[in-house]
Amino acid sequence: MKLVDYVNLDYVPKKDDLIAMFYVEKAPDCIDLEHAAMEIAKESSIGTWTDIVTMSREIAERLKPATFFIDHENDIIKVAYTHELFESENLPQILSAIAGNIYGMKKLNNLRLLDVSFPQKILEKYKGPKYGIKGVQDLLGISERPILGTIVKPKVGLTELQHAKVCGKAWSGGLDIVKDDENLTSMVFNKFEKRVEETLKLRNQIEDQTGEKKIYMPNITAPLEIMKERADFVLKKGGEYVMIDVITVGFSALQEIREYLEDKEVVIHAHRAMHAALTRNKKHGITMLALAKLMRLIGVDQLHTGTVVGKMEGPKREVLEINRVITEPIITGNNRTMLDQNWFDIKPVLPVASGGLSPLDVPDLINILGTDMVFQFGGGCHGHPEGTEAGAKAIRQAVKATLEERSLGDYARDHIELRKAIQKWGN
């Protein structure tokens, strides 16, 4: 088919079109950006590498996509696809089209899916988050401050009882949630069922002692049927949360487990382990923003999105835009990083900042990211000179000081845990 069939700069997207925005770096033997756009639109829809006798004008006119925007200065294109090209409730199929074979084309040196805008006709096939931000805050009884948590450290190596004791120290010190590490599932030295049982038993005791709601997020990541069994076990033992490594389990398994948990009272915490294999190269792959939208669509309740500060990669603007697309009901896009998106009835996702944080980062975290957040401190809790419980207290103290508009140094005069945190991690 001819160039004009796939590139139409006069095309106005229809309300039921799916829009994909790409960064494109053409190969030297590709004539120009228009030809690269043609190849992308063609390969991601009804075309192939040569003319074929089985292609009718009727098929072409009904299903052909249109590249309707080309930014030569920034090498960005937008492609509109009719919703009929997709099995709406089948996210793997959608991604096989707009993020599939096109990455392997010789005409391209690099290709990056910047964003996807889903029409209501596709959105209505998905449940989105069951709890969302308000649901999680209501469950914990927290709305005026960020939810605070930690990750059990070391990542792996502790026995079930040792793991539970670390959780207990964190809860006793004032943290709200404790989660498994992303690579802790059911190990020879730490079996899933015993860990969950021992940790939730201690959780119940700490709740009675403190009068505060405490949450344990066990990692149920596994093949689908095992994930279902583990989720059921957590619920049987009184847990309210499960954690899933959402990239490594795959979109199909994530859709299935979300559907399975629909009639159960359980919050889904999404860890994004392996995302950087797709997102970190700024010229190739898929943006974290696009992945985050897929997670909101499927229906996780909490998602790691970046910290701005801390050890993990993530520029300020990027993290803020990711948080916007998973929390706001209507997004007004731009021609560089985001597309317009109306989420209609789909609830927001609670963003999680985690990775290399200490109590000293709290003022910046609140100032930049706000309080409708989960802040998680791993080494910044367990690395406190006086141990995990003192680390948890220092985190709560840092939050209280910040919300009272007091400097950490001033507040630390009367709070030894924060003072020792400043002595260890301060400049």
132-425 and 3-123 share a CATH fold: no
Tokens coding 110? 């690099």
Cα–Cα distance list, 353 to 196, 242, 371 (Å): 24, 18, 11
Sequential pLDDT tens for the chain (427 residues): 453 479 999 999 999 999 999 999 999 999 999 999 999 999 898 775 445 555 566 766 778 899 999 999 999 999 999 999 999 999 999 999 999 999 999 999 999 999 999 999 999 999 999 999 999 999 999 999 999 999 999 999 999 999 999 999 999 999 999 999 999 999 999 999 999 999 999 999 999 999 999 999 999 999 999 999 999 999 999 999 999 999 999 999 999 999 999 999 999 999 999 999 999 999 999 999 999 999 999 999 999 999 888 655 558 999 999 999 999 999 999 999 999 999 999 999 999 999 899 999 999 999 999 999 999 999 999 999 999 999 999 999 999 999 999 999 999 999 999 999 999 999 7
Per-residue tokens: 127: 């449940």
- In the three-class reduction of DSSP (H, G, I as helix; E, B as strand; rest coil), residue 215 is classed as strand
Domain positions in the chain are: 3-123, 132-425
Cβ(345)–Cβ(132) below 8 Å: no
Residue among 268, 320, 337, 341 nearest 298 (CA): 268
Q: How far apart are the first and last CA of the chain?
A: 63
- Topology given in CATH for the domain delimited by 132-425: TIM Barrel (3.20.20)
SS3 per residue for 340-391: CEECCCCCCCEEEEECCCCHHHHHHHHHHHCCCCEEECCHHHHCCCCCHHHH
Catalytically active residues, by annotation: 153, 271
Cβ–Cβ contacts within 10 Å for residue 98, how many?
23
Angle between helix axes 388-403 and 416-425 (nearest 10 degrees) is 100
| 127 and 358 Cβ atoms separated by less than 8 Å | no
Say which CATH superfamily domain 3-123 falls into: RuBisCO large subunit, N-terminal domain (3.30.70.150)
Residue 86 has which token pair? Answer: 């997709």
Q: Helix (H, G, I), strand (E, B), or coil: what is residue 205?
A: helix
